[in-house]
A = this chain, B = another copy of it.
Amino acid sequence: MAGNTFGNLFKLTTFGESHGVAIGGVLDGCPPGIALDIDAIQQELDRRKPGQSAIVTQRKEPDTVEFFSGIFEGRTTGTPIGFAIRNTNQKSRDYSHIKDSYRPSHADYVYDRKYGARDYRGGGRSSARETASRVVAGAIAKQFLSDVRINAFVSQVGELKLGKHYTELDLSLTESNPVRCPDPETASKMEAYIKEVRKEGDTIGGIITCVIQNVPIGLGEPVFDKLHAELGKAMLSINAVKGFEYGSGFEGITMKGSEHNDQYNPDGSTKTNHSGGIQGGISNGMDIYFNVAFKPVATVIQPYDTIDKEGNKVTTKGKGRHDPCVVPRAVPIVEAMAALVLADYTLVARTIKL
């Protein structure tokens, strides 16, 4: 129960520290017979990897995945898919500035207190590097869910809001700019702003919106495993996430019930979709959409005060290349986690028929 497994039936277990030998995982429960497009998996990894554009961290990590098992003659076999991504920059470096002190709002302090020790090189297990394993598994989940369309995009960076409903956007434009915002004009503003923040050695947060279309009716389990509850947990498990809302979300609280209720069309679809595609925790066939809030990440390239293990005050400074805004790189992670949830709940739903 140490928390490194996600999913009930389509089940991912990940391992690996940022500066260890390798990260990777085992995807168990993937049905047999899926003709896997390995290039598509690598493409998803490339969307997440550092160094991909001028507005993200300039670290170089090729992030090439090696598959160990579960695939034969190009198809999944139904047996567990083991895989690993070697860490290429695990060389001897100077970690003394982080070994001896706790970086504010990082996991350093709580890991030391919980485990009595930690791999202090980089973020260890708490590094966002771990999410590369999720992207691999999520890419397989997407191929399993071939009819479902999952599109995430950046809808806010700092104070800069996209300000349009997803139905007004051309989501095919998301990949046309480094910010992954499907509105080119807003994307430019966001890009300029992130560059500014980078120059300050600072960081900024944002919102990712995710839209899932063509979902069959009936995914999601009462009572505790409502579809949106599992999506929420999935998103909140991503590093730096502070909030989740779906459908009408936090804004819905100011509406009256008579206005918020989604009236039915004769075919069972609804005229409005404040429900966000989920009623009573179960997908109703309408679009699922939700927002995920990311805080500004903690690694800043500015001097800061902190404490060492003995509680002594020390002044230190982040080193090297930092990520001024992780939100663009987190878009494929949000999609991956959404795909894992949907794949899992697709399998779960199969068990509920006579």
Measured CB to CB, the residues of A under 8 A from B are 1-6, 8-9, 11, 13-17, 20-26, 28-29, 31-34, 66-70, 72, 75, 77-82, 84, 102, 104-107, 109-111, 113-119, 124-126, 130, 144, 156, 158-159, 197, 200, 202-207, 217-218, 220-226, 228-230, 232-234, 236-237, 239, 242-250, 252-258, 260-268, 270, 274-276, 279-284, 293-300, 302, 304-307, 311-313, 347-354
Q: Which residues of B contact A353 (CB under 8 A)?
A: 31-32, 116
Instruction: Report how many copies the assembly holds.
Output: 4
Q: Collect the chain B residues with CB atoms within 8 Å of residue A312's CB.
A: 266
Q: Which residue of B lies closest to A103 (CB)?
A: B261
Q: Name the residue of chain B whose CB is nearest to the CB of A324.
A: B257
Among A16, A119, A255, A261, chain B packs the most CB atoms within 10 A around the CB of: A261
**Are A250 and B243 in touch, CB under 8 angstroms?**
yes
In the bound assembly, the distance between CA atoms of A16 and B84 in angstroms comes to: 13
A-B pairs, top 4 by smallest CB distance, nearest first, are A107-B280, A3-B221, A243-B245, A15-B82
Q: Could you say which residues of chain B place their CB within 8 Å of the CB of A264? A: 102, 104, 109, 305-307
Given contacts A242-B247, A257-B297, A279-B107, contact A21 B223 (CB under 8 A): no
A117–B75 contact, CB under 8 A?
A: yes
Give the residue of B81, B261, B295, B304 whose beta carbon is less than 8 angstroms from that of A253: B295
* Distance A146 CA – B68 CA, assembled complex (angstroms): 32
Task: List 15 other contacts, CB 8 Å, given A32-B354, A109-B279, A206-B253.
Answer: A1-B9, A2-B351, A3-B221, A16-B80, A22-B69, A32-B352, A79-B124, A110-B284, A114-B218, A114-B349, A243-B250, A255-B295, A261-B304, A266-B312, A351-B351
The answer to whether B79 touches A125 (Cβ under 8 A) is: yes
Across the interface, A114 reaches (CB within 8 A) one of B206, B217, B232, B266, namely B217
Bound together, the chains give a CA A262 to CA B17 distance in angstroms of 24
Given contacts A296-B260, A351-B31, contact A218 B113 (CB under 8 A): yes
A77 pairs with B115, CB closer than 8 A: yes
Q: Closest B residue to A221 by CB, please name it.
A: B3
**Chain B's nearest CB lies how many Å from the CB of A245?**
3
Asked, given contacts A232-B233, A253-B205, A311-B267, whether A2 binds B352 with beta carbons under 8 Å apart, the answer is: yes
Known: A4-B26, A232-B236, A350-B350. A203 touches B257 (CB 8 A): yes
Chain B residue contacts of A252, Cβ below 8 A: 205, 242, 293, 295-296
Q: Is the CB of B104 within 8 A of A261?
A: yes
Q: How far is the CB of A278 from chain B (nearest CB, A)?
A: 8
